[in-house]
Amino acid sequence: MQLNALCNRSGKGMQCPYAPGTPAMYSCRLSTKIEGSRHRTMIPILKVMKLTMLLLTAAFLHVTAGSFAQQITFSGKNVPLEKAFSVIREQTGYLVVYNADLLKNARKVTVDARNMQLDAFLELAFREQPLKYVIRNNTILVTGKPRPQQSPNPGQAGFAAAQLALLKGTVVNEKGEPLPGVTILLKGSTRGTVTDDGGAFLLSGEVEDGATLIVKMIGYIQQEIAVNGRSDIRIALQADVRNLENVTISTGYKKIPKYQLTGAASVVTQKEYDQRVAVTGNFLESLEGKVPGLVYNSQSGELSIRGVSTFDAVKKPLIVVDGFPTEIDLNTINPIDIVSISVLRDAAAAAIYGVRASNGVIVVETRRGKSGKAKFSLRATTALQQSPDFGYLKFAGAKEFVSLQEAQFRRANPNEISYTAYDRPMPPAYAILFDEQQKRITAEVARQRLDSLGSYDNTQEYENLYFRTRQATNLNLDVSGGNEKSTYLLGVNYIAEQPVNVGSKNNQLILNFANTYQFSNRLKMDFRGVYSHAESEKGTTAPINDFYPYEKLADANGNPLAVAQGVNRDYLNYGVNRQRNDRLIALGLYDQLYYPYRELTANTTKINTNAFRVQARLEGKITDWMSAEVGGNYERQQGIQDNFLDEQSYTVRRLLNLKATKDPNGRPLFVDIPQGNILRRTDQKAVNYTLRAQLNFDKRSANSRHEMSGILGAEQRKTTNDSYLNSYFGYDGQSLISRPVNLQRASLYTNPAFPDVSQFGSGLSIRDYVNETSADRRFLSYYAQGTYIYNNKYIVTGSYRIDQSNLFGVDPKYKYRPLWSAGAAWRLHMEDFLKDNTWISELKLNATTGFNGNVPVSNNGPFLILASQLNNVFEISQPSFYVMTPENQSLRWETTRTYNLRLDYGFFNNRLFGSVDYYYKRTGDVFGQYDADPTSGFNQYNANTATIRNSGIDLLISTVNVQNRRFEWRTSLTASLNNNKVLAVKATEYDNSEYITSSRINRQGYPMDALFSYNYGGLTDMGKPFVYDRKGGRHILDFYGNAVEDVAFEDLVYNGTTTPKYVLGLNNQFSVGAFDLSFLFMYYGGHVMRVEQPNPVNITTYSTSLLEGSSNYWKKAGDELYTNIPGLTPGRAQDPFYFPSYARYGYQYASQFVRRADYIRLRDLIITYNPKFDFLKRMGLSQTQIRLQGQNLFYYTFSGNDIDPEAIDRTSGVRQLPQRPLYSISLFTNF
């Protein structure tokens, strides 16, 4: 009765036509479930299909390809039905499951089929047979037809019993969730079946009480279950941790079983990747802590693999998506579509990519459609992040700043005429002090005004005007389905973000499709694509050091106010005080004061970016062991950036004043540059394509002792990047009208017609308004890769590639230099002396070596690179050309020689598994700037200048600590040690200060990003800072050498590297009932950072970001015993307390202020709820999850928790705004 009730169709009382309990009954139940869900899925299908023509096109292609079916070619007369089944298996790959006893009564078949469709072939073979069949996925289930009711016949009793005997059951995972697609085989026979979407299975025919079932599925431990007379069995499969997480490694060119790999590679599975929600679409952030050797910079969003091996070439890893390199914005990759990420770290794993593989390769595999009825997946995420914390920057408050300005004034005793003679901008505190100095006000009034000035601090006003809480929403909907002939996946992803900056917003829409077509058993195709449309807007957020901390930015009504300080140092040249500004306005010119809050809306930028990628791969089987494929991808990204400068923006007002001419009456004329707004439009376009032809082979000997596989192919790639900047003067956004501009005259370097505008000449920089650049890179490559395996224990691999490119010279000895790799592996656990060891699951030794390459960022190479310009030296600007870079016929790609030793291990049925690698990388012919022969007309040129070494250890330890139905606890630890050193570099002259202040200057014998400092000695009894040389001598530094000598490089102190040498990621995952909890701790260590110190320097002009505590400077003799902050600098060199401003470098870049930068951060804390309510099932929802996620919740710095090492420039010591915690909530469900 229960089975019969399950057969009712949508409650309409339609009874199953077959007898209850028969195998046919089960088939009917499956079909009614599918039909009963049609109405529930129709509305979402229509909504998705209306989204875009792209999705409609993809769906159309899928439907069209659906007409292609599996085809059979066979001719036979009176052959057994079993022979027909064998033909089906050989020509289609379909599994035919049947009871051998049933075939005893089967008729022989006569058939003559040529390219006959599979379903037609089956209809012909089963004509007039006492059997029937059901196709489910790639399995054909054969059962007996129901027989009419008749009197029992002893001769037919056995057959009837075989038909009515049923063994049913359900297969679930450790959490009790059903597992579809599990294979159930009756041991010792060919009978079997496959579980359906609900994990249920049905095995027809007689099953003896003592029979054994073999239950297996990829990623789970195979089990043998004794029937023991049961007719209904529940089977719980246990995940095979090792197989589940590292089934295959994708190199992009092919997929390699993990055990066949000799190189260093890691794979991040979909389950691992999905632990963290990428709120705004950056999939790289989810790799942190999951791959040994990979270092992710959360501030810049960039990552490196096994250190950096170049100065000026490409530093980021090559990104490969579904087999082809991508050059467009990585945000076009929908993180939700990612099913695996393979990270190739050494030469044996990555050398197949040749000159792009020196920095490692990241291979992204995205989802494909799954055969079956249409299934929808919905993901929705919303996130919040607090506005920045400016208190972390430790700037001096208004009161301290005023006191410092007062102290500097009284120490320097400046002459008012130095400001008033040119009507220069004057600090408000100085205006009060000059009034006191010139007896215009009394000392008491001056004190009152200074105290009043220091009583207002604009930090909170600045935060309120410019910043807010960040909000982000991410919505994703996709549908997939298909049949044995083709599958499809259609998806849409929408991201809306309100950044922390007021006036900014980001929106992105991603549409993607993925179709597969099985034209025949020998020919298949994969066709997929993605389209992305992104829009962003932002206003100009004035840096907090654009103004003094006591200046108001807006009045009570929100109207912008002018400030005394300028936008940058140029403001000292073009800035005016209020008296001079009033004269400009009276002459009919523009207000030339700077209003920082006005710039938020008067200087805005909008960016619209459209990008798409399409790719196809057609593969055909030549023999059982050889196939050929052709394919390629095409990418195009076009972005239009509009920088709108309102007529009231500071840039336009100043430019119009500078280029105004006089009419006969002395009034301004705006002829060369018209009045009105300016629109600077940049059109950037990138077009890339890859074409590839490849042979694949995979051959085993008859006894399976020898196995060979590999690829042989050729590839052509081209990338072009074009940028066009055009400007429209006098632009009206409503009518889209602009006015002509005389760029020739505007670019002339002339003095302003109105001297009050500026005392300095100026010419319009044409490149800021009209510019065009183009880059064209071409590659032609030939490659091969092979693997040989003996006795499933000993593995040898090799690869070979030749790259040709227009980026390199044509010298024959460099043009055809190959890049290659070789590797070997020994699977010790397969040896007889370990094979029977029950606690060793895997033990494998690997050794590899090989060469990778790298290409330059700039277009240097065998050709002269020219640029055009308007020469503004002459009375009339003339077009001219200049050589940007000289030709270099000897320029060749960087080559990295890598050695790698690796141990893969697994113990206790892979409850403990992982790997350990030791690597040595030596990169030669490193690109860099080299001093040129002065007679060549160039100071420097790009050449192969250096050699860099990276060596270290990568470690992975994963454990399954507890695993049962109620509780699960897993731990994963990744650890990396990298030691970097510049072994050789061609000599280039640099000042000592450049080694200290720049992270781009590299010195032989030291690591990249080496940090150097002065050996600071403290202060003299006159408050002057001094440094020690290596012999103990004292020096007061002077950059210009004014009778004071500088120290030598050997006198500098090497503090260490600013790049982390040690990186650890500790990830714990817990599952308790319906709840999952995971958290990721990251440790970065072995590096150092400079920490900026209070330093009262240049407080009268452009330096407004003084640190708190700057007032604790040296004031009198004896203070040097209690403070190391230099005293204020007098205004005249004749003053006995005077010292050069460069002398402060000894204090500012002192070795005493370099600290250990090791820190631990709680990167993620994620709680997931997996509800199991029945009403969700009745609603058609499955795999529903509610997830709470927190990022960057906590950090601890070992040298003092007042500094966040991720929020500081480790070379200069200048603090940056730290990342605030990000909180998100997500809902996932399928239907």
User: Dihedral sign, CA of 378, 381, 382, 387?
Assistant: negative
Calculate the alpha carbon distances from 320 to 357, 594, 842 in Å: 11, 48, 30
Question: Rounded to whole angstroms, how far apart are CA atoms 501 and 951?
Answer: 42
DSSP three-state, residue 846: strand
Calculate the alpha carbon distances from 558 to 502, 537, 593, 642 in Å: 14, 22, 18, 27
> What pLDDT does residue 879 have?
67
Phi, psi of 314 (to 5 degrees): -65, 130
Question: Rounded to whole angstroms, how far apart are CA atoms 350 and 362?
Answer: 9
Query: Using one digit for the tens of pLDDT, what is the confidence trace for 178-221?
Result: 887 788 888 877 678 888 767 888 877 777 777 888 888 766 77
Look up residue 952 and give its two tokens: 């270290």
Query: Using one digit for the tens of pLDDT, what is the confidence trace for 469-479?
Result: 999 999 999 99
Number of domains in the chain: 1
Question: Rounded to whole angstroms, how far apart are CA atoms 189 and 155?
Answer: 25
The answer to the question of residue 126 being in a domain is: yes
Hey, how many other C-beta atoms are within 10 angstroms of the C-beta on 531? 18
790 pLDDT above the threshold of 90:
yes
The answer to the question of residue 59 being in a domain is: no
> What pLDDT does residue 43 have?
37
Query: Using one digit for the tens of pLDDT, what is the confidence trace for 709-755?
Result: 999 999 999 999 999 999 999 999 889 899 998 877 887 777 788 88
> What pLDDT does residue 528 have?
95
Q: How confident is the model at residue 858 (pLDDT cuts 50, 70, 90)?
A: low
Averaged pLDDT score across all residues of the chain: 83
* Strand order across the 265-269 sheet: 265-269, 338-344, 361-366, 318-321, 324-325
Longest Cα–Cα distance of the chain, Å, equals 131
Question: Rounded to whole angstroms, how far apart are CA atoms 618 and 323?
Answer: 13
1025-1049 burial code (b ≥16 CB/10 A, e <16): bbbbbeeeeebbbbeeeeeeebbee
HEC string for 726-763: EEEEEEECCCCEEECCCHHHHCCCECCCCCCCCCCCEC
> pTM value?
0.81
Q: Which residues pair with 139 in a beta bridge?
A: 95, 136
Cβ contact 985:940 at 8 Å = no
Question: Rounded to whole angstroms, how far apart are CA atoms 229 and 250?
Answer: 45
- Least trusted range by pLDDT, from 35-44, 136-145, 238-247: 35-44
Question: Rounded to whole angstroms, how far apart are CA atoms 495 and 532?
Answer: 11
The answer to the question of residue 194 being in a domain is: yes
Chain centroid offset of residue 181 CA: 33
- Least trusted range by pLDDT, from 537-546, 863-872, 1113-1122: 863-872
Query: Using one digit for the tens of pLDDT, what is the confidence trace for 948-997?
Result: 999 999 999 999 999 887 899 999 999 999 999 999 988 666 666 777 87
The answer to the question of residue 127 being in a domain is: yes
HEC string for 865-899: EEEEEEECCCCCCEEEEEEEECCCCCCCCEEEEEE
Question: Rounded to whole angstroms, how far apart are CA atoms 956 and 1064?
Answer: 10
Cβ contact 755:574 at 8 Å = no
Hey, how many other C-beta atoms are within 10 angstroms of the C-beta on 112? 11
Question: Rounded to whole angstroms, how far apart are CA atoms 744 and 871?
Answer: 9
Cβ contact 172:239 at 8 Å = no
The answer to the question of residue 254 being in a domain is: no
Look up residue 78 and give its two tokens: 């009176």
Question: Rounded to whole angstroms, how far apart are CA atoms 1217 and 1208?
Answer: 8
Cβ contact 1084:1063 at 8 Å = yes
The answer to the question of residue 141 being in a domain is: yes
The answer to the question of residue 485 being in a domain is: no
User: Could you tell me the residue range of the domain that residue 178 belongs to?
Assistant: 17-31+71-146+156-240
Question: Rounded to whole angstroms, how far apart are CA atoms 1203 and 41?
Answer: 54
Domain CATH number, residue 167: 2.60.40.1120
Question: Rounded to whole angstroms, how far apart are CA atoms 754 and 583?
Answer: 11
> What pLDDT does residue 815 have?
67
Query: Using one digit for the tens of pLDDT, what is the confidence trace for 250-278?
Result: 888 988 888 889 989 988 888 888 888 77
The residue written with tokens 């199991």 in the block is 1172
> What pLDDT does residue 643 have?
96
38 pLDDT above the threshold of 50:
no
Most confident by average pLDDT, 237-246, 565-574, 1184-1193: 1184-1193
The answer to the question of residue 133 being in a domain is: yes
Question: Rounded to whole angstroms, how far apart are CA atoms 1192 and 1188?
Answer: 14
Look up residue 936 and give its DSSP letter. Answer: G
